[in-house]
Each structure stands twice: as structure tokens, then as C-alpha cells.
Homo-oligomer: A and B are copies of this chain.
Amino acid sequence: MTLDDRKARVLRAVVEEHIETGLPVGSRVIAKRYRLGVSSATIRNEMADLEDTGYLDKPHTSSGRVPSDRGYRFYVDELMPKKGLTAEESRAVESLFRTRIRDVVSFLRETVRLVSETSNYLGFVFGPEGEAVTFRSIHLLPASSDKALLVLVTDIGFVETCLIEMSDASKDELQSMSEILSRNLTGVTMDQVADRAYSLLREETSRYAMVVEQVVEFLRSVTMSDGDRLYVGSPVNLLNLPEFRDVDRLKGVISAIETNGIIQTLLTKSTDEADPAIRIGAENEVEAIKDISMVYGTFSAGRTEGKIGILGPKRMDYGRAVAIVSMFEEKLSGFFSRGD
């Protein structure tokens, strides 16, 4: 389905006007503000047609028009101009990726904060999945008289640490256990590593049963931690939007997002879309966020991948959102491949 040139221009004007103001837009405003060379009456007719074909909605009988999901969809697919980031914004992003990385978790958390800040919507990152990740190295270090520190480094730079209680173990013993672990588990994928570690350690140093158990338990918890993959920014930005003056709506959205699983299922459901992908309103197929849009993309991290995206109102600045997501995608892919 396509639209003739003038209808497309009217639709574009309506969408952009509505994105800017948040209010229903009338024919007069379009005629005045957007130089289409025709009168408001003509625009009115075009708008009526656009409503009939489902590109525009009317909140009530005699008010201006608002883009429908379909209208937005046509807009982002066909009409939307490509946008870039300002020099200053790019610089802010660059600088995040130049700072010393302490660990991947806080790095991703910082990323989310920056996405939220530059977009003025709600940023999120869905971290690289664990299953395809392998270990680059494993160490057991003495930490105190009765504790050892287990350090794991994955091939994409994740560092996980964990304190292990142990009654007595010499430095040498730790060292040897450490080496056994390293030799045998390096390169093994996450979903196999716990089992491997278990059989391995048990036969080699059975007198440390308690330690072995703790190591295995920790490895299990690392691999299972699918819920931990989602990082969401602070929803304060959404409070500034007129569509969320209604507290209950905001509450619904926030709790939907915080309820682990919603975004995950949304993202994994993603089909052969463009990248960055755009999901508009009801396209998300979840009641609670049916007037929320989502722009997200995929970044690669070693053999696996993660998602980064922005949640905002349907009248979000899609062009800008796409620019931001693209930028971060690229940077994140770069970041995670750098470590190879």
C-alpha cells in the first residue's frame, strides 16, 4: 500500500507536528506551518481520506487527527528523514567508550544511563547471552585466612568474582586447583562449564569437597543468570512527557518493564526486521505497553549477541532514536570484539 505524493506529505506533516506537540493536529496548522501550497480545506479532505485508510485517528468527532500505529509505521518506513547526532552528543558517547572499563556490568549500566540521557527516553540493554560465552581464564586467589577469591574472565571481557569459604588451603594448593581449573575449563562454553568443573574437581582434589561445591554452585549461578541480562535506565525522563501525567499509566509501564521477562520475550520474538528495528505501540503485542514504542538493535559480542534499545512514547522522535541506537550498536560491537 502506498500513498500519492500529497497524501504522504500531509501524513508526514501530521506525524511530525504531533511528535513535536503531543496534541491532536488540525488542518489549519498543517496548512499554515507546512508549505504544501493548498488550503486547509484541501488538507481536511486529505486527512479524511487518510483516516478512512487507517493512517490517522481521531480522538473524538471534532478534533484534530493523531497518527495511528499504521500511520507511524508508514512514516518510519517511507517518510522519515535520516538524522544524525550533534557533534557534542557523539563526543559524549565516544568518551564513555574511551574511559577505563572497570567491569562489564557497570559498563553496561553506564551505557544504559547514557542512552537514556541522550535520547530523553528510557534506555535499556539486554546483555550478551551466557550460553555461547566461553571462559578465557579462571583463577583461585587467596583472599583471607578463610576465604579464596574465584575470578572468571569470559571471552567477551565479563569478569565475575566470588568469595569462596574454605577452612584451610595453602597458597600452593590454591595455585594447583587454579591451574587445574584453567587448563580444563578454558574455552568451554558456559552451559557446559559447571558440569565439567564438577567431575573434574571431584576426582582431582576430593578433600576439598566443600570448595568444589561452592565453585560449582557459583558457576551454575553465572550461567543461569538470564534475568540479570536486562539493564534498564531510570524512568524519570518519562515523567516529563505529557502522555504520562497520568500516574497509573506510568506505573503500568514501569512495572511491566521491571517484571523480568517482558522485554526479554519481546526481544527474542524479533523476526527478520531491519536493524535498528522499530516496534510501534500495539506491534509490541503486550497490553501494558501498547502505547509505547521501542527502537532497538543488535550488537555482537564474540560468538553471541546482545540488544540495545530505547523505549518511548509512540510519538517519539524515531529518527533520533534510530541514530542513537545505531551509534551505540556499533560502539558496543566494537567494544566487545576488541578483547579477542
Residues of A within 8 A of B (CB): 100-103, 105-106, 136-137, 139, 141-144, 147, 149, 151, 153, 157, 159-163, 214, 217-218, 221, 234-236, 239-240, 244-245, 247, 250-251, 254-255, 258, 339-340
Contact A221 B100 (CB under 8 A): yes
Q: How far is the CA of A284 from the CA of B233 in the complex (A)?
A: 27
Residues of B within 8 A of A159 (CB): 149, 161, 163
Name which residue of chain B comes closest to A248, CB basis. B239
| Pairwise interchain contact B157-A161, C-beta atoms closer than 8 A | no
Contact indicator A250/B239 (Cβ below 8 Å): yes
A338 to chain B, nearest CB (A): 9
A61 to B: closest C-beta gap in Å: 29
Q: Which of A105, A136, A247, A250 has the most CB of B within 10 A?
A: A247
CA of A245 to CA of B239 in the docked complex: distance in angstroms? 12
Knowing A143-B137, A163-B157, say if A239 contacts B251 (CB, 8 Å): yes
CB contacts (< 8 Å) of A340 on chain B: these are: 144
- Cross-chain contact B214 with A239 (CB below 8 angstroms): no
Give the CA-CA distance A150 to B153 in the complex, in Å: 11
The answer on a CB contact under 8 Å between B254 and A239 is yes
Closest 8 interchain pairs by CB? Answer: A159-B161, A239-B251, A143-B153, A236-B254, A103-B161, A139-B141, A102-B162, A245-B247
Give A233 to B85 CA distance when docked, in angstroms.
32
Cross-chain contact A137 with B147 (CB below 8 angstroms): no
Nearest chain B CB to A179's CB is how many angstroms away? 11
A338 CA to B73 CA, complexed, in Å: 58
A137 partner residues in chain B, CB cutoff 8 A: 141-143, 149
Quote the shortest CB–CB distance from A114 to chain B (angstroms): 14
| Cβ B151 vs Cβ A141 within 8 A | yes
Give 20 new A-B contacts, CB below 8 A, not counting A103-B162, A105-B105, A239-B250: A100-B217, A100-B221, A101-B163, A102-B160, A102-B161, A102-B162, A102-B218, A136-B144, A137-B141, A137-B142, A137-B149, A139-B151, A144-B340, A149-B153, A159-B163, A163-B339, A235-B235, A239-B251, A247-B247, A247-B250
